[in-house]
Amino acid sequence: MTLARTLRAFVWLRWRMLVNAVRSGERRDVLERVSRTLAAMAPIIAAVLSIGSLIGVSVLGFLGGRAAATGLVQPAAVLFVVRIVLGALLGLVVVMTTLAPMQTMMASYSRLLLLPIPRSTLHLVEVLANLTDPWIAIVLPGLATFALGLAAGGRWNLAAVAAAAGAGMVLVFVSLAALASFMLGWLFRSRQRGELFTLVFVLALSAMSIVPAIMSSKLDQGRHDEPRSMRRHTVSVEEFDATLPRWTRVLPSELYGSAVRIADEDRRVAWASVALLIVEGVFLFVASSAVHARLIGSLENEQARHRRSSGIVNTWTLPLVGPAASAVAVATVRTALRSVRGRLSVLLPGPLVLALSILFHRLSDTPPNLATALAHGDLVFGASALLALNALQSFTMNLFGTDRAGLTLVFLSPVSDLDLVRGKVAGCGVLLAVSLVLCLAASAVASPTGGVMAWVAALFAIWAIYLLLSPFAVWLSAVFPVAADLSKAGTRGNAHPAAVLIGMVIIGAITVLTAAIFLVTEFWLERPLLTPLVMLAWLGAALAVSWPLLGLASRMIAPRRENLALLSR
Amino acid sequence: MSLAIETRAIRKAFGDLVAVDGIDLAVPRGSFYGFLGPNGAGKSTTIKCLTGLLRPTSGSYRILDLDPLAQPVEVKRRTGVVPEDLALFDRLTGAETLAFVGQVHGLDVANVRERSAELLTLMDLQRAKDDLVADYSHGMRKKIALAAALLPAPRLLFLDEPFEGIDAVASRQIRDLLAHFVKSGGTVFLTSHILEIVDRLCDHIGIIHQGRLVAQGPIADLRGATGTGKTLEERFFELVGAEHTEAPALDWLSR
C-alpha cells in the first residue's frame, strides 16, 4: 500500500511540476510567454516523435520475432540485431542518465527525505521512474513484441525464454540507470568533484566518439591491402562471435541473445542464461540500493577547502570600453572559464578540429573536395573558428541568462545599459579569442599549409563575423533569456532554442557574405596579398556597423529589465 | 527636513495582484529607517522599486534628490543594496566580487584593495576570500553581499533582511558599523522580521500591510501615540490587525 501510495504521489508531483512550470509565465509579459512557449515546444515535438518511434519499434519487434520463428529470416541474424541494439542501449543508458537525469527527483531529495516515506520505497520509486526514460521506454515494447512475434510463429518455447530474458533485461536497464544516477548524485554532492567529473566525462566521450571511425579506417586500410578476390568476403554471425573476447559473454545483452538462441537445443542452458541475467539485474538493483543509501546518508555539504590565496585580485580595463564595461567583461570571462559549460565551449573546438583533421587525413576514401580543403590550413582554421563561434552560442545567445544572480548585482550597480552590452560583447570576445588560439594551434598542427596572409585574412574574417553578429546576439539574448545552469554539460546550460536557431541562421548569412569576399579575392582575383587587406577593411566596416547597432540594441534592455532580473531565481 | 527617500503614491501591480498600493514614504537623511510588515505585505517589492529592479506601475519618487527613472546610474553611484536574493556572481570569489563592485563604481585599485581587506576582516571572510561564492554558506553570502554594498561608501543603504543567517558576533559588529554609518550622515533603509533589532537600531519606522503604508514616523512617536507606553511589537500587531488573532485550536493536534 505504501509503495502504491508513494508512486501515486510521485506521479501527481511530476504532473503538477510540469503544469506549474507552464502556468508560472501567466503574469509575465507577452514576449516572456512567447519565449517560454517556444522553449516548451521542443519536448512536445520530441514526445510526438517518440510515439511514432514506439509504434515502429513494436511493429519491428513483432515482425522480427515472427520472421525468425517461421524461418523467413535466419534467427541468428535477427538475434544479432537484437543483441547489438541491447548492447548499445546498455552504454546509452549510462551515458544518457549522466547527461540528462530528467526523471530523477534528486534535486528535491532533501525535502523528500523529511517525508514519512521509507528509504527502501524511495529507492524503488526512483528505480521504477527510469522506466519512463525515453531510451528505456522505447525498447520495452520491442522486447515484448519480439517475444509475441516468436509465439505468433508457433515457437512457444522460444517465446517463453525471450519473455523471461526480456524481463531480465528491463530489470538490468532500470537498475543500471538508477545506479548511474545515484552515483552521479553522490559525485555532485561536492560542486568541485561534480564539475571535474562532468568535464572529464564529456572530454572522454568526445574522444571515444571518434574511436569507431579510426577503427573503421583501419579496417578500411586492411581491406585495401587484401587481394581483390578476398574483398567480397562477408563476416558471418558465428565468425563475428568468435572474435569477441570471452568476458563479453556475461554481458546482459549477450546473455539475452544466447538464452534465446539456444532455447530450442538445450532448454536447461537457456534458462540458466536467463537466471544469470536476472541475477545480474538483482545485483545492479542491490548495488543501486547501497549507493542510494550512501547518497542520502552523506552530509549535505562537504567541508570546502579554502583555495590558496595570491592575496591580490587583478582588475583589467579593456581597450575601447570603460571600466564598468571592462568589469562586466571580466566577470563574464571568469564565470565562463570556471564553469563546465564554459570550459567545454571554449576548450573543445580546437582539439576536436585536430582529431577530425587527423581522422580525415587517415581515411582512404575522404571525398576529394574535403581532401583539397584539408590541404589549405587557412580554410581548416576558418572552419574551426566558425565551429568555435557556434560552440560559444550558450554564451553569445544568452548574454544575460548565464550570470543568474550576478545580473541583479549588475542591475543594482552604476552600469548603464550600453556599458552592460559592451561589456558582455567584449567578454564573449575574450572567450572567442581564447578558443581561437587553440583552433589556430590545432589547425597549424593538422594542416600547416597555406600562406601566412591567408591565415591572417581568416582571422580578420572571423572577427568581422563576430562583430556583425553581436548586435543581433544582444537583441536575441534580451528577447529569449534563459536561466542557464553552467555547471551542466546538457541542455540546461543551453541558450533558448529560438535564439540558437536564429543565431545560426544569422551566422550562416554573415559567413556566406564574408566567405564570398574572401574567396573572390583569394581565388578569383588571385591576389593573395590583397586578401588580408580586404578582410581588414571588412573588419573595419563590421566595427563601424556594429558599434552603433550595439547602442541601438542596448535600448532593448530597459523595457526587458524586470524580466531579465527574474533570471536570478 | 531633507529626505533621502521620498515617494508619492507609488503603486506596483503584477496583473491583477497589487503588491504596493500607493505608498508615500518619507525617509529623512541620516536616519536609520526600519521598514516593517508581515510576510507578503510588499516590503521586498517596495525595495525592488526603489532600487530600480522593478519599475513602479504609477507614482513618482526621488532618491537623494535624484530621479531614479531619469538618472538611474547616478542614483546607483550613491546607494548600496543587499537585496533579498543577495545577487552575487556564483563563480567569482569573495575578493573578486568586491573588486568587481569597486571597478564599476570607478574606484582606483589601491582603494578597492584597502577597503576590501578591511571589510573582509570585519566580516570574518579573510580565509574564504579566494573561494568561489558558490561554495559559501548562506551566512557567508550575506556577509559578502553586505561588504559589496558598503565598499563604495554609499550615502544610502537598502538592506533587505540583512541579519538573517548571520552569526551573533558578526551581527553585533555589523550593527555597530551601521550605527556608525548613520552617525556620520548616512541613511539606512532596512527591512527585518526581527522587531527587536528594528526596535534597538532604528530611529524611524514605516509599517506596510497589504501593500499600504499604515504608519510612519519617528519610532518614539509611534510608541507614544497611544500614550500607554506600548512595545513596538504590540503597536505592530495593532497596526496590522493581528492583536486579537488567536491561533485556531486544531483539535486534531492534541490527540
**Which segments of chain A have a pLDDT < 50?**
26, 101-104, 299-304
Sign of CA pseudo-dihedral A445, A446, A447, A453: negative
Nearest CB to A315; choose among B89, B109, B137:
B109
Contact yes or no for A64/A81 (Cβ under 8 A): yes
Query: Does the structure show a pLDDT above 50 at B133?
Result: yes
Residue B252 included in any domain = no
Q: How distant, in Å, are the alpha carbons of A568, B17, B19, B21, B55 from that of B14?
A: 18, 5, 7, 11, 11
Residues B146-163 have a mean pLDDT of 93
- CA pair distance B45, B51, nearest whole angstrom: 10
Comparing CA positions, the residue from A127, A139, A150 lying closest to residue A67 is A150
Residue B104 included in any domain = no
pLDDT of residue A103: 44
Does A306 contact chain B (CB < 8 Å)? yes
Comparing CA positions, the residue from B254, B234, B218 lying closest to residue B226 is B234
Contact yes or no for A75/A68 (Cβ under 8 A): yes
- DSSP assignment of A285-311: HHHHHHHHHHHHHS-SSPPPPPPPP-S
Range of the domain at B9: 3-87+155-244
The number of domains in chain B is 1
- DSSP assignment of A498-532: HHHHHHHHHHHHHHHHHHHHHHIIIIIS--TTHHH
CB contact under 8 A, B87 and A562: no
- CA pair distance A471, A5, nearest whole angstrom: 54
Q: How distant, in Å, are the alpha carbons of A3, A18, A205, A345 from that of A351?
A: 49, 39, 13, 12
| Cell numbers for A15 | 504532473
Give the pairing of strands B204-209 and B212-218.
antiparallel
Total-model pTM: 0.73
Does B101 contact chain A (CB < 8 Å)? yes
Nearest residue of B to residue A335 by CA position? B91
Instruction: Residue A327: list chain B partners with CB under 8 A.
Output: 100, 103-104
- CA pair distance A248, A269, nearest whole angstrom: 17
Does B113 contact chain A (CB < 8 Å)? yes
CB contact under 8 A, A416 and B73: yes
- CA pair distance B24, B44, nearest whole angstrom: 16
Q: Which helix (H) or strand (E) holds B50?
A: helix B43-50
Provide φ and ψ at A168, rounded to 5°: -60, -40
Cβ atoms < 10 Å from Cβ of B77 = 18
Residue type, A143: L
| Cell numbers for B36 | 516593517
Angle at B229 between CA B227 and CA B235, to 5 degrees: 90
Residues B219-247 have a mean pLDDT of 73
Interface of B with A in 136-155 (CB under 8 A): 137, 148
A364: buried, middle or exposed (CB in 10 Å: 19+, 13-18, 0-12)?
A: exposed
pLDDT of residue A357: 81
Instruction: Residue A314: list chain B partners with CB under 8 A.
Output: 99
CB proximity list for B142: less than 8 A, separation 6 or greater:
B82, B86, B162, B164, B165, B166
CB contact under 8 A, B91 and A408: no
Instruction: Residue B91: list chain A partners with CB under 8 A.
Output: 334-335, 338-339, 486
- CA pair distance A139, A52, nearest whole angstrom: 13
Cβ atoms < 10 Å from Cβ of A506 = 18
Give 3-state DSSP helix, strand, coil % of chain B, rounded to 5. 40, 25, 35
Residue B159 included in any domain = yes
Instruction: Residue A308: list chain B partners with CB under 8 A.
Output: 130
CB contact under 8 A, B92 and A406: yes
CB proximity list for B8: less than 8 A, separation 6 or greater:
B24, B59, B60, B61
Query: Does the structure show a pLDDT above 80 at B84?
Result: yes
- Per the listing, cell 546538457 goes with A490
pLDDT of residue A363: 66
pLDDT of residue A221: 55
Instruction: Residue A323: list chain B partners with CB under 8 A.
Output: 103-104, 106
CB contact under 8 A, B85 and A405: yes
CB contact under 8 A, A568 and B131: no
Torsion of CA A280, A282, A283, A288, to 10 degrees: 130
Angle at A455 between CA A318 and CA A439, to 5 degrees: 65
Minimal C-alpha gap between B44 and chain A (Å): 14
Contact yes or no for B150/B80 (Cβ under 8 A): yes
Sign of CA pseudo-dihedral A359, A362, A364, A369: positive
Residue B44 included in any domain = yes
User: How confident is the model over B182-232, as pLDDT tens digits?
Assistant: 999 999 999 987 888 888 899 999 999 999 999 999 988 887 755 566 778
- CA pair distance B132, B236, nearest whole angstrom: 40
Provide φ and ψ at B212, rounded to 5°: -115, 145
CB contact under 8 A, B74 and A569: no
pLDDT of residue B241: 77
Q: How distant, in Å, are the alpha carbons of A64, A192, A310, A311, B133 from that of A304?
A: 55, 9, 18, 19, 12
CB contact under 8 A, B51 and A412: yes
Residue B105 included in any domain = no
pLDDT of residue B229: 67
Domain boundaries, chain A: 28-208+244-297, 323-568
Minimal C-alpha gap between B248 and chain A (Å): 25
SS3 B53: coil
The domain spanning residue B19 has which CATH number?
3.40.50.300
